Structure 1
Amino acid sequence: MAVTTRTLGRSGIEVSALGMGCWAIGGPWSEGGRALGWGRVDDEESVRAVRRALDLGVTFFDTADTYGAGHGERVLGRALAGRRDEAVVATKWGYTFDESARQATGENASPAYLRRAVTGSLRRLGTDRIDLYQLHLGDLPVPRVEALLGTCEELVAEGLVRGYGWSTDRADRVAAFAQRGRHATAVQHSLSVLRDAPELLAVCDKYDLASVNRGPLGMGLLTGKYGAGSTLPRDDVRGSAPTWLEWFRGGRPAPEWLRRVAAVRDALTGDGRTPAQGALGWIWARSGRTVPIPGCRTVAQVEENAAALGLGPLAPDQFAEVERRLAAVRSAALRDADRPHWPMPPIPSARP
């Protein structure tokens, strides 16, 4: 059964049930010598991808001012020129950057910086309003978030922002944020068939928040494109694999996550879906508040993901089978963890 739209929490804004994540179209940027982007991209193909998404009914676009150190917002703004009213635009603030050097430089959680950040995003996006403005600092303590809410409400009153949210995986902090922010309307958090988020989904239900889902395809693992022999380049954030990125280690897919992908692949694709389409169907079946935002940088990726809208959520029996298989993998992992580990098995070669 097709799924086409969702309501963006208490804002009442209608969005497509599928969004387009725009991290990758920001292109290369880094912090020191570590890549934070997804490698080199073709800006013209990125523009075509955004416009193709609109043609196929995808209306929700999620970016951040720091993606590409400002370049990602500029590309999205160019792609939406002349079609801005067809789109719901979400961006984020909190990290600082040097646009000319394509470098991340730190973070700033002050109300004064919030004012400067929204002005910069509006300029780069070429728009007069941001539909969903999200705090990007996921571990910020609640008192510091509360200090920002007054400015957020002022931005809503001035018509510069329609609603605001927080990109965080901290369910306990989201509850406090939702109670105190009148126009708080969404939480962006990690959610995929590989990693559920029951506490965050419960908070969304309790406070009428949209659940905007980053990493819905496991940063590519759930597309079926990567296997044990895959190596990601160093100019790709997955190739440099910072500690917060759990799916990849040493530029390779992490074996424990590949095992989970293998366990559920048949259950996700049994009705003719691609692995990516099955993973998106699982998210829609998980909750009626979810809006997954898989990253795209080509027209082909947009077309494959958008086709999932017509297929809709996984059927109840499919969803149950995926859960059964995941439970079996988790049980096996626990049994392995309890086994003695001496003598150690041979370490496999790092070469493919």
Structure 2
Amino acid sequence: MLTRKLGNTGYEVGAVGLGCMGMSWAYQESSRDDDRSVDVIRAALDLGVGFLDTADIYGDGHNERLVGRAIAGRRSEVVLATKAGLVVDDLPTKAMHRDGSPAHIAAAVDESLRRLGTDVIDLYYLHRIDPAVPLAETWGAMAELVRAGKVRHLGMSEVSVAEAEQAHRIHPVAAIQSELSLWTRDALGGVDTAVAGPAAAGAGQAGSGDVVRWCADNGAAFVPFAPLGRGFLTGTLHSATFEGSDFRAGSPRFQRDALAANLRIVDVIRAVADRLDATPAQVAIAWVLAQGGHVIPVPGTKNTRYLRENAAAVDVVLTEADLAALADAPPATGSRY
């Protein structure tokens, strides 16, 4: 697979990584199949998709254990990213809170190392900034993990340019992960469509600024999650019916009227895909890749067929006319959270 530099870490990884969250929670949880997910992760390594993304909160530790099982005996083929800073309060409802205290960070990394079955994490993200703890304290605690040899590089998730700059002055920010897709362009400096509130502890940072440009200017990678719009941009979702545990059941963008309006975005993507003899998913990922050579999306899947389809997006070349057509796609109806 085509590779890209993971910021200034010294790693070169497949230009498309693998997000593992959906293997454990958030989407169609009734279809969870750990054996199949292990097979998908191992197939990813065979394809050269060795940049794996997980977090301690995904399934309250389940996803890290799953990834650890899948990479056993193949650790050298993996650039392993996980996260800390969110805590599950209730697994069935996915209620959570933020905890950026140094004590929590110190304890969380040890638990992640144990679940992943490794002695070092390649990229350790602060999952969300805790407003109750000064960022300097949280980031300082994470920098201590690098000095202790438990973590190689540090990243941040869903932060603003100002927050990235503050952290970068204390210890280098190797990567920023935020949502970016053809229906979520906030990280390019647009209007943030996340919402705040007690039910949205995992929501992003409003008014984030052009985080993608900041990463390019500061030698950091930008790692988009949900580049397929939580499955919507594949063009395979036409119903607003999801099982109760599925994140999308309560997402404003997936409610019936909003979903119908958002199909206009898929229509634009499909028209480009038809011209290129590609799938809508491949065009959606190719657009994300086109936002900069430092951009490394991590689409998720529980299916080997879709894994291969996503990986093949690196071979899709969008022309200037294609990019212009995609840029004219209508904005999404509904907020992200």
Whether 2:287 is the aligned partner of 1:296: answer no
Query: Would the aligned equivalents of 2:278 and 2:316 in 1 still touch at CA under 8 Å?
Result: no
Whether 2:126 is the aligned partner of 1:135: answer yes
How far is 1:65 from its partner? 0.3
SS in 1 for 2:177: strand
Alignment of 1:108-257 (within 5 A): 108-138=99-129, 140-141=130-131, 144-182=134-172, 184-196=173-185, 197-198=187-188, 199-227=210-238, 229-241=239-251, 246-249=252-255, 254-257=259-262
Whether 2:323 is the aligned partner of 1:319: answer yes
Whether 2:100 is the aligned partner of 1:96: answer no
Aligned residue identity for 2:292: S
Q: Which moved more, 1:119-128 or 1:141-150?
A: 141-150
SS in 2 for 1:282: helix
Q: Within 2, Cα distance between the matches of 1:92 and 1:169?
A: 14
Q: Within 2, Cα distance between the matches of 1:238 and 1:100?
A: 16
Q: Within 1, Cα distance between the matches of 2:310 and 2:95?
A: 30
Q: Within 2, Cα distance between the matches of 1:226 and 1:158?
A: 46
Matched with 1:79 is: 70
Structure 1 pair 195–106 and aligned structure 2 pair: CA distance change class (3 A):
closer
> Where does structure 2 lack aligned partners over 5 or more consecutive residues?
189-209
SS in 2 for 1:319: helix
Q: Within 1, Cα distance between the matches of 2:312 and 2:178?
A: 23
How far is 1:69 from its partner? 0.7
- Structure (1 or 2) with the greater helix fraction: 1
How far is 1:51 from its partner? 0.4
Instruction: Please list the CA deviations of residues 55-82 of structure 1 after superposition, one character each: whole Å capped at 9, or x if unmatched.
Output: 1110101011010110000011100011
Matched with 2:203 is: none
SS in 2 for 1:189: strand
Query: Would the aligned equivalents of 1:38 and 1:238 in 2 still touch at CA under 8 Å?
Result: no
Matched with 1:276 is: 281
Query: Would the aligned equivalents of 1:22 and 1:72 in 2 still touch at CA under 8 Å?
Result: yes
TM-score, normalised with respect to structure 2: 0.85
Aligned residue identity for 1:188: Q
Query: Would the aligned equivalents of 2:269 and 2:280 in 1 still touch at CA under 8 Å?
Result: no
Whether 2:98 is the aligned partner of 1:107: answer yes
> Where does structure 1 lack aligned partners over 5 or more consecutive residues?
28-35, 334-352
Structure 1 pair 83–65 and aligned structure 2 pair: CA distance change class (3 A):
same
Query: C-alpha root-mean-square deviation of aligned residues, in Å?
Result: 2.3
Instruction: Please list the CA deviations of residues 270-290 of structure 1 after superposition, one character each: whole Å capped at 9, or x if unmatched.
Output: 211110011111111121111
Q: Which moved more, 1:16-25 or 1:253-262?
A: 253-262
Aligned residue identity for 1:126: G
Matched with 2:10 is: 12
Structure 1 pair 114–300 and aligned structure 2 pair: CA distance change class (3 A):
same
Structure 1 segments (4+ residues) deviating >4 Å:
98-105
TM-score, normalised with respect to structure 1: 0.81
Q: Within 2, Cα distance between the matches of 1:257 and 1:137?
A: 28
Aligned residues: 309
Q: Percent identity?
A: 38
Q: Within 2, Cα distance between the matches of 1:247 and 1:18?
A: 25
Q: Within 2, Cα distance between the matches of 1:304 and 1:214?
A: 17
Q: Within 2, Cα distance between the matches of 1:113 and 1:44?
A: 31
Larger radius of gyration: 1
Matched with 1:47 is: 38
How far is 1:180 from its partner? 2.7
Q: Within 2, Cα distance between the matches of 1:131 and 1:19?
A: 14
Query: Would the aligned equivalents of 1:134 and 1:164 in 2 still touch at CA under 8 Å?
Result: yes
Matched with 2:193 is: none
How far is 1:143 from its partner? 6.8
Query: Would the aligned equivalents of 1:230 and 1:253 in 2 still touch at CA under 8 Å?
Result: no
